[in-house]
Structure 1
Amino acid sequence: MSKRGYHHGNLRQALVDGALNLIAEKGPTGFTMAEAAKQAGVSAAAPYRHFAGRDDLLAEIATQGYELFGDVLEYAYDDGKPSPMAAFEAVGRAYLAFARKYPGHYMAMFEAGLSVNQTADLARAATRSDRVMQRAAEELSARIPIDRRPPGAMFSAHITALSHGIVELYARGKPGARTPFTPEELLESGVGIYLRGLGLISGD
């Protein structure tokens, strides 16, 4: 096996890429640093030049994941265009799309048991993606009278929890997760019920 990490001068990223393969196969806590080193084609000791241990490696993967997540959400939101409602719905769909396209990153972000404050870079990346969701929620809820308007952070957290639940139960192909509806249909109907409860869309 070639030691591509050394040859390309980017062992750190080679270890990240190798760990992503292992996460997809075994989950975020089901692999060892030695296995990540083998994936990268380097010795078992080599990863410790860049990472203190598996949690440090997972934190780097989660950081990269949140950076990608922020990019995906910002692209979907597009400054509230063409309308706050359409932008909000696009953000919800982008959540599902990200989980499908980047499963290893998603698992490192949400299933590895890491605190988002484990590193400063991870905290910054996570905060950025949270702000996109919160901004979308705040702009959409601006039409609700202020005495009945939920805090933007709460509104965003509710939709995030709904999206995450749908990903975990129905968008990852887990055994026993049977439903006649697509994840997108479940998300659309769930968000619709939530928005009707807030009076943002009609009950028709």
Structure 2
Amino acid sequence: MADRKSYHHGNLRQALVDATATLIEENGPQAFTLTEAARRAGVSPAAPYRHFKGREDLLEEVARQGFVDFADRLKAAFDDGRPRPLTAFLRTGQAYLDFAAARPGFYMAMFESGISVAGNAELSAASDRAQGVLISAAEALAIRLPVDKRPPSRMVANHIWALSHGVVELFSRGKPGSRSPVAPSEMLESGAIIYLRGLGLIPD
């Protein structure tokens, strides 16, 4: 049980976020309650209402923090396209898989909880920042092509996002090798290369 004394120093809000992420990891994003989150954080059932309007508000904050960390990881992986755009782009795919594995509770809050990202300005901004990294990566890949031959960078970013999410959902959970003998990272990389080559973003 968490140390109640710490909450006098302003840590209750984060303790509730972390407790909720753990509950989501264990039981899914639909199963947690404010009462259970409060119990995990070591406070009374009424304590969460000091910081959150209700269950949805707390869930959105878990997702927002997840997107902030997610965007930071993607940005660090892309590293301004060094040493070359394709290598950097593929690193962002690995960062996607690594985030989902390292912070599953936050990942599920972000993508599987049914929350309205557009309905929360801070959450929407955090999500847009993560997508912006992939858009920048797509733009860097397309720079070698004539302007009129470049595919829409947002489309490319969304397709790679969808491919990454599909690999996480279908092949990165459960026992390794249970659905495919190919590692999720290899599956994502080969799929991304095939897709990008088809668009002419990388040479044959």
TM-score interval, smaller chain: over 0.9
Match in the other structure for 2:101: 100
Tell me the secondary structure at the aligned position of residue 147 of structure 1.
Answer: helix
Q: Is the 8 A contact 2:177 2:183 kept in 1?
A: no
Q: Structure 1 counterpart of 2:149, which letter?
A: R
Deviation of 1:177 (Å): 5.6
Task: Supply the distance in 1 between the matched residues of 2:121 and 2:175 (Cα, whole angstroms).
Answer: 33
TM-score norm. by structure 1 comes to 0.93
Q: Is the 8 A contact 2:164 2:188 kept in 1?
A: yes
Structure 2 unmatched ranges of 5 or more? none
Summarize deviations over 1:135-184 as a string: whole Å, max 9, x none: 00011022233333211100100100000000011112179961111101
Q: Structure 2 counterpart of 1:78, which letter?
A: D
Q: Structure 2 counterpart of 1:123, which letter?
A: S
Task: Supply the distance in 2 between the matched residues of 1:129 and 1:117 (Cα, whole angstroms).
Answer: 14
Match in the other structure for 2:152: 151
- The aligned length equals 203
TM-score norm. by structure 2 comes to 0.93
Deviation of 1:196 (Å): 1.7
Task: Supply the distance in 1 between the matched residues of 2:188 and 2:177 (Cα, whole angstroms).
Answer: 19
Task: Supply the distance in 2 between the matched residues of 1:112 and 1:60 (Cα, whole angstroms).
Answer: 12
Give yes or no for the alignment of 1:57 onto 2:58.
yes
Structure 1 unmatched ranges of 5 or more? none
Tell me the secondary structure at the aligned position of residue 42 of structure 1.
Answer: coil
Q: Please report the RMSD computed on the Cα atoms of aligned residues, expressed in angstroms.
A: 1.8
Deviation of 1:113 (Å): 0.6
Within-5 A mapping of 1:166-181? 166-173=167-174, 178-181=179-182
Task: Supply the distance in 1 between the matched residues of 2:53 and 2:37 (Cα, whole angstroms).
Answer: 13
**Cα 1:118–1:176, aligned 2, differ >3 Å: closer, same or farther?**
farther
More displaced stretch, 114-123 vs 61-70: 114-123
Q: Structure 2 counterpart of 1:46, which letter?
A: A
Q: Which has the higher contact order (CA 8 A, sep 6+)?
A: 2
Summarize deviations over 1:38-67 as a string: whole Å, max 9, x none: 000111111111111111001111111111
Within-5 A mapping of 1:40-189? 40-173=41-174, 178-189=179-190
Q: Is the 8 A contact 1:74 1:132 kept in 2?
A: yes
Summarize deviations over 1:99-122 as a string: whole Å, max 9, x none: 111111111100011121232211
